[in-house]
Copies of this chain bind each other. A is one copy, B any other.
Amino acid sequence: MGTGFDFEIIEHDERARAGIFHTPHGDLLTPVFAPVGTQGTVKSVTPAQLEQLDASLVLANTYHLYLRPGDKVIADLGGLHQFMHWDKPLLTDSGGFQVFSLAESRRISDDGVTFKSHIDGSTHELTPEKSIAIQENLGADIIMAFDECGSPYDIAKNETAMLRTHHWVERCITVKTRSDQALFGIIQGGIYPELRIRSAEFLASLDLPGYAIGGLSVGETKKETLSTLELVDQYLPETKPRYLMGVGSPEDLVRGVQRGVDIFDCVLPTRLARHHAAMTRTGRINIANARYSTEKSPLDENCSCYTCKNFSSAYIRHLVLAKEMLAATLLSIHNLHMLITLMNDIRQAIMNHQFDHFATNFLENWESAL
């Protein structure tokens, strides 16, 4: 499958990699963290603010945009980039995960999934073919194969889901028409090494432009997550980007990069912001806490974001208590800046062959704060 989506690895440091992934909307410097814009907007911030934060990749959700406003509406308006006014790389998921986690009364078969919309109860079907058609209407740079994500601890169900996922990725490849979109396959297999190896080997054989590790952070232990990452790292082609879906706490980003992951996405920074939490490099703080009521210092003394350069913790606490929208905006800006600069620092550490030292330091500071 020729794609034109070249991935150059600039530097290795142990298993960590610093790379460049070329897309039609610009280069992604990896490792990279993608803010999530579920409904075509990263919650509480404008695209101009995302630009100022130096965000480079944004994820949007196929399930949500298919249901509302509809992928055809977005196509008629020039595609998702133009619709949400984001000129840099975009990634859409396949819709599969949301169907399993959000939709009502879903019914799964080898053909696809029938489900009821969480918005109005209307009935819909998603299949590999339909997921690709929707994602082609949306027009993101990176699109995902339609997959089934099993519960982590049932080997039989995980094998079924994995085999289905393998058949479905082949159907996705068959119907895909746009050459300006990179189709990533998704490895399944729960916590079972033998399934994960089979899934990684099968997908590697398809020579896709990138690979996601699915079915993690869905209930398994942290140790199981990390050992699964270490395992699939050995079976995935070195020369393709690896994407750990839905992962975004600072310590998980560091541990993921240590295990060869290049791309991450998560709602965490903007969701925490709406729940009054600020992320720092030593842990989270809840700014609604009374201890901040007269606090002159910013959320994080060492942070250079718009929020920390200009506003006291006391002001942000006031906004939270007064239920002002600006609270979520200022906290989102800070949390996104925190993760984006963390990834920049990780990349720099890899370039300097100091990532192991960086990671050890980071995790020690992080854990001492918990």
Contact = CB atoms under 8 A, between A and B. Distances in A.
Nearest to A315: B83
Interface string A315-346: 10111011011101110000000000000000
A294 B39 contact: no
Contact of A328 (B45, B76, B293, B325): B325
A314 to B, nearest CB: 6
Contacts of A45: 326
Interface string A82-111: 011100000000000000000000000000
Given A69-B293, A73-B314, A46 B330 contact: yes
Nearest to A64: B322
A282 interface: no
Contacts of A311: 85
Nearest to A49: B46
Contacts of A306: 46, 48
A44 B44 CA distance: 9
B325 A325 contact: yes
A68 interface: yes
Contact of A77 (B77, B315, B322): B315
Interface in A38-76: 39-41, 43-48, 64, 68-69, 73, 76
B296 A46 contact: no
21 contacts: A39-B318, A40-B315, A40-B322, A43-B326, A44-B325, A44-B326, A45-B326, A46-B306, A48-B306, A68-B318, A69-B293, A73-B314, A77-B314, A83-B312, A83-B314, A83-B318, A84-B315, A85-B310, A85-B315, A325-B325, A325-B328
